[in-house]
Structure 1
Amino acid sequence: MSDYIPFAAPCFDTAEEEAVLRVVRSGWVSTGAEAQSFEEEFAAYIGVAHAVALTSCTAALHVALKAYGIGPGDEVIVPTMTFVATATSVVHAGAAPVLADVGPEHLTFDPDQVKSLITERTKAVVPVHLFGRMAAMEPLRELCDSHGLTLLEDAAHTLPARDGDAVAGRAGDASAFSFFATKPITTAEGGMLCTDDARVADEARRWSLHGLSRGAVNRYRPGHSAAYDVDRPGHKYNMSDLAAALGRAQLAKAGRLHARRTAIAEVYLRELAGLDRLELPAADTATNRSSWYLFPVRVHGHRRDAFRQRLHALGVGTSVHFEPLHRFTWLRDHVVRTGQGFPVADAAADTLVSLPVFPAMDDAAVSRVVAAVRRAHDEAGR
């Protein structure tokens, strides 16, 4: 590690280098056999029948909504405590996002709040498995089933995670994963849609590639017909073989990457316990396990931003997850309903700081973060 510990960094070795070189040397770098293999391997890892490799989790959410026929006149309930893409993918599908407040423990969906927002226009509910911890899927599943709603998981943070019998990525009708540079596994930029529904997977593929009936790999190879049809005004969301090669190398070591994140989180939970102005995230239990994509702490009793600046001065990078959606200008003006409040999200938002918890950190770096957090905490209390 350098003298400065960043908030996040990818964890690559020769496996990723060799994977990318393999594709470069093959002469085929766009969507092809590598992307197909990544889809098959990822589907098997999650435990679903189908996976569609895409350019982002946002794209996965978008084409999933389109595949379920959700569009103009429809409403989709999303949490206010999430990244903006959860809501804007609904807008891109032509539907209206409806913001819900979250529960106080994990800052994921409050099922009672979701229930209160269901109308005759509601067509889907999108729980976000925040920070790496799953939302409460059992009551949300029951709620969606009773109202005939699609349950679409935003699983961008959760590879892997589980809550009892529920496993992130296969607890809803479909799920969307992110492979952004900071995520549990990365393709630099990328995402995946997972589902057991063959129709939804096929619709997603059509929407993701201009509405084409056949992709380039099935038109340019020797002996293949060049003919294709276009049955919809689709998008350009297909993943390249270069990105898929990175993803396959990362997926092969996903267990080790998760184990390292978990080990770092356990050190933080042990060594930072007892700091009176620092609220730590919940620990794993035998039945509820986080991906530890993030390690969010809540800073009480002094200004969060000053705490972050002190950590920066001590050589530790941090981030903030998230500014609630209802505070952003466009969503405040176009999405938030008159008189609607979000007291739980508002109470938490200005206290949150995400500490480094990426697998490339060595033990010395973890110890430095602990020492810096303790020092920043003590100095702020003087």
Structure 2
Amino acid sequence: MQITELLTPAYDVAWLPWAVQYFFLVGVATGAALLVAACSYGSAGTRLRRLLPTAVLVLAVSAIAAPVSLLADLHQPFRFWHFYAHFTPWSWMSVGALLLPAFIGLSLAACAAWWLGRVQWLRLLAPLLVLSALSITLYTGAEMMVVRARPLWNTLWVPINLALTGWLAAVGVAFILERFLPAHQRPDAISLQLLRAIGLWLAAALVLVALLWAATGLMGGNASFDAALRLVRQFPVWRDGMLLSAIGGVAVMAALVRGKWRLDRRGYTLVLGLGLAASAWAFRWALFMSVQGVPKFGAGLYLYSMPLGSDGLMGMLGVLGLCVALVAAASWALEVWPSRQQPALQRAAA
């Protein structure tokens, strides 16, 4: 009997954890942008309108932090300039270099309109903000879907899942950040129930998408399902990951349903928000980092060891610290200068 040993070189991952932070934060930003646009058209005093300060806070923090993560992922200072100096319209990354600044600008303009109490300005910006948010959703999803070498990415279900999980994370972040608003701007229990209902519908849509993904795979029309099934069968680490994902999904759904009777407890909203945000982040970690551990050719897995420096743990902690600093700055500004937008909002409500 002859034994043939195959040695596979270990390759560095192409997309570092910075990409996980960027795709998470930009997903939150697009969800917050859609919520801001919807809330701006709510009548004064309604529960939809009372969610507006929370949605604006989430949008401001995520829209500023997301491009910072993207620039860090590019590694070299001013590397982003090449996207403009050598524009390639057939590249989604190059197209995104045009779409992202427009989205960031519209997001900050919408936040400024709310800050100044210009509700009509906000309503005029809302349609543009929605179109821009959807363009970012399309570009970020397509950027992964076009990679034909990886069946787990090369499917229409990837951008759909990225969109739904990003918007669900925006709901979770809203549950976390609403407590940092001044008392007169926090949503009441009825408005929080509306936020919970949005999260429940998004979670239900995710379950439906997962079932459709599995159904098309079983019918032989989805190579990504076949690839995932092979990984689950052959590698315990993927099998355990899928099991934990299923348990986490059930827990999130149960928490959203249970929230009908528990949202008056601030500790519960914090745990619920953290759970929703963590689920969306974990999905992106598996999609980016774990999938890169699957060889494009050959067998086996590449095990990824996260570095402790700026390209790994310290980088992620840095992004978290940036978000905390932005929340603290916004909370302080709203406490110190509430008069900049409150009188106009009161006139609009009258």
- Judge same fold: TM > 0.5, yes or no: no
TM class by shorter chain equals: under 0.3
TM-score, with structure 1 as normaliser: 0.23
**More relative contact order in 1 or in 2 (CA 8 Å, sep 6+)?**
2
TM-score, with structure 2 as normaliser: 0.24
